[in-house]
Structures are given as structure tokens and as C-alpha cells.
Structure 1
Amino acid sequence: MFPTFSLSFPIRRVNIQLAYRTDIARPSYWNLRSNVLYANKYTYETGNPLLKPTLTQNVTLGATYRWMQLTAGYNRIKNQVINVTSLYDEENPTIMLMSLANAPAYDKVFAGLTLSPTIGLWHPQWRLQVTRQGYNVQTPQGLLELHRPMGTFVWNNNFQLPWGVLLDADFSYRTKGDMQNGRFLEPSWRADLSLQKSFLDDNLNIRFDALNMLDSYKRDFIMYVSDMQTMRMDEKSTHCSFKLTLRYKFNATKSKYKGTGAGESQKSRM
């Protein structure tokens, strides 16, 4: 158990919230593996059975007025799991072993603004956030400060159309900036569209998604994995993808299961 603190009070028509909590994220069983996998003739991959859980201390201050919310916060992150590399064989320095390690503790600050009005059948949400971390890493060129701020902008739209049809049109944009032991070298954006409707007393749901519909997504990212090596990932979209999902609830109201799902977190880790 970790201590938590929360305080909420109004100032006229503005509600102020101050909160502190500690989050824990345990490594997955896959990350804890010790077997070595072949990636290519220059790189092997493995996990790390000695990984420690990631602890994040969060202090958040928020102000809410009607459908507007302003948030600022500070994070202290300890034992973040990052990708690292080392020599697989001292006699053959051309082969690197990609593994995982716990990073030294570092700080992160953020500020964001969210607007969520309701305009008839239209429920838009605009969310803007700027994040800056204080992370230092050793590179082949020496110590590098990964302190460049990174901004994200999200514009989500929900339309409640006639006959119970729901339409979602979402747009997201990310600037250049630093995240953990890596640096985004170019901005990126994408747009997604979804349409769904329920039938048979909400037991049957049909959903259609158009993902990256403008074929715009890309990721140009460099990761500083050791004092001997860096990794450059240049990922560009090649197509828009479509997905059709059908969900049906069997015996939704007559189920007699009384369990609490105590093992779900462990099953998800497996």
C-alpha cells in the first residue's frame, strides 16, 4: 500500500483539486524472460529477470470550470524500464544484445488544457498537453541531456446520430521532443474514424473503423541504448487500414458468476 492524498475545494465557480499518489508498474513475464532470441545477424534480444517494478510519484493540481479543465503536475519516476544494448560476444563486437534495464530516477513536469463542451448532437473534446523531462543518458558522443519538451494535441469528436448511430472522428498531433531515453526527430499526426450501432437490446454491437485514414502517420525516432550504440527507427505509413468488429453478449443478464476477477492482473501479465 502506498499513501495517497486528495484535496478538493471551490473558489467561486471554479473547483480546485490537489492530489498525490504513488503508482507501481510491474514488469511483464515477457520482459523478465532469460532466453535469447535471434533478431537479425547483428542483433539478438533477451529480457532481464532482475528488473524492478517502476514507481512513479505523482503530484497533480487541477482547476475545473464547467467544461474546461486546466491541469499541471510533477512526476518522480524510479526504475523506468528502458531498452539497452551490450556486446553479445567480446570476440565478435559486431553482434549486439538488446535487453532491458531499470533507468536511474528522473523527473518530469507537464501542463495541459482540456475543453469538453456539448453542442447539440456534437460532443467535441480538445486536449493540449506539454511535457518536459529531466533525463540524462550516456551516448557514443558523451553525456546527452534529453530535456526537450514535447507537445501533444488531441481533437476527438463524437456525434450521436439518429437511429442510435454513433460517429467518432479523432485527430491527434505530436511535436518533436524527448521521451525517456529517446528523441522524436519529426512531428507526427493521424486521423481515425469509427461508426457503430447496437441492435437486439444492445446485445449486438457492430463497429466499423478507418484507422490512419489520411495515410499520414510516421515515426522518426532515435533511441540512445548505450554508450556504444544508438538506434534509429524511421517508420512511415504505407496504407490506411479498415476494421469491422461484431460483439454479441450471450446471457448478459442471467449470468450467475459471482467472482471478483482477482486473478485478472496476473493473467494479463502472462
Structure 2
Amino acid sequence: MHEESNKTIECPQSQWWLAKNGEAEGPLSHQEISDALKANRISSVDYAYSSAEKQWKPLSNWDEFETGAEESALQHPPTLPVDSYHIEPLITNPRLPAMANWICIYTLQISPWLWCLYTASEMISGTTLDENAPLVGVEALAMFVTILVSLGVTISLFIGGARLRALSRSGPTIIMLSIVFAIAVHLLLFLGMMVVITMTDQNNFASKTVAVELIDFFVGIVGLCESAFLLTAFFWLRRNARYLPLS
């Protein structure tokens, strides 16, 4: 009895044959047929023969393949988690270096908000000269021109930043030209205002509240920081634009 039980344990596993094109293909192992089902090389309607049961039946009728390999071959892949999808940044480009991406962030997002800040501060602060001063109209015109020039420069910077993010070679050129134009115009307007102020009597200056002076001080600090960044961006682009992956 002990020898017979050992022989039963040592019996080889069942072998399988597949009916393909009128011929029996095999012998095959259970794993080989399971792999073929997973790879869709065979179908559940194909007939298979088992050396254990000694009969031909479709694979779908064999318990060995009904719930295992067959189901894995027919089921759809699971839904991927949301974090696995590639999300492209809106205002930066992974192919650009850090400084170029900071320029994109400034031109596409920060610069428009700064224009709104400067315009609001101009409206709140009003003119430096009193409304009865002879040259108050010149100052008001200069303020209006400054707002329009700043708007044009902001739009130009936005276009240049969008082209830089899209790896267009025209992006750095537009940004550098916009910076040069903005600095030149603002310098001319500043010098003009200095001339107007020197020609105006001290009694013709408008008085401002502490709140307005604080707003002007804050806007002035922001403007200095922005000017420093623009100069840094200009010289960086002038030196490194040809090394960027642009087309």
C-alpha cells in the first residue's frame, strides 16, 4: 500500500492537446494553455483533450480554465489611478531650465496681476500735482500713457512667455525686446516727470493721506523687485537663449 501511494504521488500531471486545423497539437502543459489564453492566441471555443479524462471538450467546459486563465484573458484591464496620468504644467515646460521656467511664470501669470496692481494704485493715488496746478494735465497725460505702455508691454511679455513655454525660438526675442522697450519708455516718462516737478511750485503739490503713501511705498518696492527681475531675465536670456531646446 505504501508503494502504491508513492506511485500515485509521483504520477506526472495531466497533459493536454489542442485541436488546431484538424490536427492535435501537443502535448501541452496547463501553464502553456493558460498563457496562450491570456495572450489571445487561442479561444475558449477551441477543443482540448486531457490525458486524465481522455475526452475532447471546448476549453470553456474545462474547470481548469473556466475561472482562471479564461477570465483573465477576457476581462478588461482595471482603471488606472488618477495620479498615474501625465498632467502637463500650464505655465512651465519640463524641458526648460529653472530660470526659463521662472520667466514663463512671470510673463504668463505674475505680470498681468502686477499691471492690475499698478493701475489700481495709480487710480487710488491720483496725480502728484494739485488739480489747480498749471501742469496737472501733463502729469495726467503721462499717467495715461504709462498705463497704456504697461498694458502693451504686459501683452507682449505674455505672448513671449507663451512662445517660450512652447519652445519657440521667437519667445526669448519677444521678451527681450519688450523689456528694452518698457525700460526705455519708463525712463523717458520718469525724466519728463522730474522736469515737470522741478518746474512746479511747492504749493501746487497735492496732499496725500498716510494710507495712500503706504500704498505708494509698497508699489514702489514691488516695482523695484520687478525691475531687478526683468534685468536679470534680460541678461540671462541674452546669454543662454541659444542653448535652450527651441525650434
Specify if TM > 0.5.
Answer: no
Interval containing the TM-score (normalised by the shorter chain): under 0.3
More helix by proportion, 1 or 2?
A: 2
- Specify which structure has the higher proportion of strand: 1
Larger radius of gyration between Structure 1 and Structure 2:
2
Could you say which structure has the greater relative contact order, defined with CA pairs below 8 angstroms and 6 or more residues apart? 2
| TM-score normalized by the length of structure 2 | 0.21
